[in-house]
Chains A and B, each alone.
Chain A
Amino acid sequence: MAVTQRAWRALGTGVVVLTTQAEGAGPAARAVARVLAEVDATYSRFREDSELSRVNRQSGKPVRVGPLLYRAVTEALRASRLTGGAVDPTVGATLRLIGYDKDFSLIDQGGGPLGLAARPIPGWQLVQLSPASQGISVPRGVELDLGSTGKALAADLAAAEAMAAAGSGGVLVSLGGDIAVAGEPPEGGWRVLAAEDSAVPPTNQGQTVTIIAGGLATSSITVRRWRRGEQLYHHILDPATGLPVASPWRTATVYAASCLDANIAATAAIVLGSRALPWLEANGLDARLVAIDGSVIRSGRWPADRPAEPVTVSQAGAADDDAMEEPGDLRR
Chain B
Amino acid sequence: MAQTPPISPRGRDRALGMLRHLTVGAGAAAALATAGLGVLAAATHPGTTATASASSSKSSTPTTSGTSSGAVQASPQAPSSASSGSGQATSGGS
Are chains A and B native binding partners rather than an unrelated pairing? yes
Residues of A within 8 A of B (CB): 1-3, 5, 13-14, 16, 18, 20, 34-35, 38, 66-68, 70-71, 74-75, 77-78, 80-83, 124-132, 134, 153, 156-157, 159-161, 164, 172, 174-180, 186-204, 208-214, 216-224, 251, 253, 255-258, 260-261, 264-265, 283-286, 300-304, 306, 309, 311, 313-315
- CB pair A198 B77 closer than 8 Å: no
Shortest Cβ distance from residue A210 to the other chain B in the assembled complex, whole angstroms: 4
- CB pair B88 A315 closer than 8 Å: yes
- CB pair A177 B74 closer than 8 Å: no
- CB pair A20 B59 closer than 8 Å: no
Q: How far is the CA of A145 from the CA of B49 in the complex (A)?
A: 19
Q: Evaluate whether A176 and B52 lie within 8 angstroms (CB atoms) in the complex, with A186-B85, A190-B89 already known.
A: no
- Nearest neighbor of B49 in chain A, beta-carbon distance: A129
- CB pair A156 B79 closer than 8 Å: no
Shortest Cβ distance from residue A224 to the other chain B in the assembled complex, whole angstroms: 7
Q: Evaluate whether A315 and B87 lie within 8 angstroms (CB atoms) in the complex, with A82-B71, A208-B82, A256-B73 already known.
A: yes
Residues of B within 8 A of A (CB): 42-43, 46-54, 56-68, 70-94
Q: How far is the CA of A33 from the CA of B60 in the complex (A)?
A: 12
- CB pair B62 A160 closer than 8 Å: yes
- CB pair A218 B50 closer than 8 Å: no
- CB pair B64 A157 closer than 8 Å: yes
- CB pair A264 B86 closer than 8 Å: no
- CB pair A216 B59 closer than 8 Å: no
- Nearest neighbor of A235 in chain B, beta-carbon distance: B93
CB-CB < 8 A to A315: which residues of B?
87-88
- Nearest neighbor of A4 in chain B, beta-carbon distance: B87
17 A-B Cβ contacts within 8 A?
A18-B87, A20-B86, A38-B60, A67-B52, A83-B72, A126-B46, A161-B62, A174-B89, A175-B94, A179-B91, A189-B84, A199-B90, A261-B66, A283-B71, A301-B78, A303-B81, A311-B88
- Nearest neighbor of A311 in chain B, beta-carbon distance: B88
Q: Name the one of A74, A257, A261, A286 contacting B51, with C-beta atoms under 8 angstroms.
A: A74
- CB pair A202 B88 closer than 8 Å: yes
- CB pair B73 A257 closer than 8 Å: yes
CB-CB < 8 A to B58: which residues of A?
67
Q: How far is the CA of A186 from the CA of B93 in the complex (A)?
A: 25
Q: Name the one of B47, B51, B78, B88 contacting A193, with C-beta atoms under 8 angstroms.
A: B88
- CB pair A211 B88 closer than 8 Å: no
Q: How far is the CA of A209 from the CA of B54 in the complex (A)?
A: 32
CB-CB < 8 A to B49: which residues of A?
74, 77, 129-131
- CB pair A172 B84 closer than 8 Å: no
Q: How far is the CA of A286 from the CA of B58 in the complex (A)?
A: 36
A71-B52, A129-B49 given; name 7 further pairs at CB < 8 Å: A35-B61, A131-B49, A180-B64, A190-B89, A214-B66, A264-B72, A286-B75
Q: How far is the CA of A214 from the CA of B91 in the complex (A)?
A: 14
Q: Evaluate whether A286 and B91 lie within 8 angstroms (CB atoms) in the complex, with A74-B51, A130-B43, A131-B52 already known.
A: no
